[in-house]
Amino acid sequence: MDRIKIIGGSPLHGRIRIGGAKNAALPLMTATLLTDETLTLSNLPHLQDIATLLHLLQQHGTEVSLQNNGDDGHEGRSVSLRTPRIVSTTAPYDLVRKMRASVLVLGPLLAREGHARVSLPGGCAIGPRPVNLHIEGLEALGARIEIDNGYIVAEAPNGLKGGEVHFPQVSVGATENILMAACLADGTTVIRNAAREPEISDLGACLIAMGARIEGLGSETITVTGVSRLHGAAHAILPDRIETGTYAMAAAITGGDILLTHTDPGLLTATLDAMRSAGCEIAENAQERTIRVRRQNGPLQGTDVMTQVYPGYPTDMQAQFMALMSIAEGASMITESIFENRFMHVPELARMGANITVHGASALVRGVGSLTGAPVMATDLRASVSLVLAGLAAEGETIVNRVYHLDRGYERLEEKLAACGARISRLPD
Ligand code: UD1
């Protein structure tokens, strides 16, 4: 397994180009299963999770054509997906267990074919993450669903029927699954307490371009009027707000100055607000799609955050902010309200000298003057990147193990950081 070596202590200066959003690309790709025509997605990030989903789609019958754009092939790739026929309605355990988002094939397969058999994704490092809301939502559209030998077996032999889906709890994935399924259901579906994440609006915009009839995107109530078929479309994937926020924090934690380009500042208001409260200087330019982040006037200040559903502070930016707060002046309380068990980075940050105490869903971070490098590892994507951030600020050498987590969600991480002056390299196995 590759490792990442960082010699910390250099303030980062430069520009970083932000890629397309992983969490938008995944549901958008599964939308190919809803039509026999070609769906072309541009600004596709180059990530392990994308490769995993392409593999799953291919075994359902999707033809895949990838195009690299730009001189270095990295100026946003494009992919054309065409699924003339569904050759298998089973999403097998071996593929689904690699990535939980694979469960997003359930709604589209069921809507198009009238049946689907999708492995339960199982537990993951950040909590039990059940799929009951996906199942209950599809049942409200008339599906009969059973769990059989670890598989979700869903049947709707006469097609799905529009219905009322009232989620008791906000779920990004369940909202996406029901939204896609409802596009081909007979009649009108109303999704209440829908997630409002920008990635859902991006998926909705693409479905509308494919011929779907959807209202209320970005609000708590989404109404979908089913159509008998969807057609092909071309869609540009929105920028990755979590990648943007992560590099913004790289500038902040090292006391540097970074211009983030090809992004959308409007997607990360809560994150940028928290960073401003902590003493970062942030200049947003919506027209030029850039954000400049600087922290050159003294230390960071302890700032409290609580993760919430969008537009609140994102859970996917919790670990990175904790790394930042571990060198702030004063204390900060970081509360995780979306996932149980999302503090696995705490003991690893502590090994680098951070002073953090966890009480239930809250972590009290008492800022220390500086961190020291150490060998560390993490069990999920955002926890891993928080250790990279800590390593950039720490004195001495940090080795981050289990780099495959980073490859799931960050494209050319070492290259992007090294271009801003970070002393970071990948040590092959
Ligand atoms: C998505 C994101 C992930 C992000 C999360 C929350 C993708 C591919 N992943 O994950 O990066 O951290 O949103 O912003 O977009 N829940 C249930 N039953 C369900 C579904 C969810 O109880 O059927 C619970 C989960 O355990 C969790 C909460 O609801 O506690 C939110 O999960 P959800 O919004 O569904 O997250 P994902 O879609 O899996």
Encode pLDDT of 326-379 as tens digits: 999 999 999 999 998 899 999 999 999 999 999 999 999 999 989 999 999 988
pLDDT band of 69, cuts 50, 70, 90? confident
Q: Strands 90-91 and 115-119, how do they pair?
A: parallel
Average pLDDT over the chain, rounded to an integer: 95
Task: Specify the pLDDT at position 208.
Answer: 98
CA-CA distance, 223 to 191, in Å (whole number)?
6
Q: What is the pTM of this model?
A: 0.97
Give distance in angstroms: CA of 101 to centre of ligand 1.
9
| pLDDT above 60 (res 124) | no
Using the predicted structure, report yes or no on whether residue 320 has a pLDDT greater than 70: yes
Ligand 1 center–CA 202 separation, angstroms: 17
In whole angstroms, give the CA distance from residue 348 to residue 147: 37
Helices (H), 184-285: 198-209, 241-254, 269-277
d(CA 261, CA 238): 13
Assess whether the C-beta atom of 172 lies below 6 angstroms from ligand 1: yes
- Closest residue by CA, ligand 1 atom 24: 129
All residues at 6 or more sequence positions from 51 whose CB lies less than 8 Å from its CB, including other chains: none
Mutate to test the pocket of ligand 1, among 132, 134, 171, 191 (most ligand atoms within 8 A of CB): 171
d(CA 308, CA 317): 11
- Shortest-distance Cα residue to atom 9 of ligand 1: 23
| CA dist., res. 176 & res. 402, Å (int) | 30
The catalytic site residues sit at 124
Write out pLDDT tens, residues 154-202: 999 999 999 999 999 999 999 999 999 999 999 999 999 999 999 999 9
Cis bond before residue 311 (omega within 30° of 0): yes
- Residues 6 or more apart whose Cβ sits within 8 Å of residue 240: 18, 19, 20, 21, 22, 23, 45, 263
Residue 338 CB–ligand 1 contact under 6 Å: yes
pLDDT of residue 378: 80
Q: Please give the pLDDT value at position 402.
A: 86
- Amino acid identity for residue 394 in this structure: A
Mean pLDDT of 58-79: 83
Q: What is the pLDDT of residue 405?
A: 87
Residue 371 CB contacts under 8 Å (≥ 6 apart), including other chains: 8, 326, 327, 349, 352, 353, 354, 390, 393, 394, 395
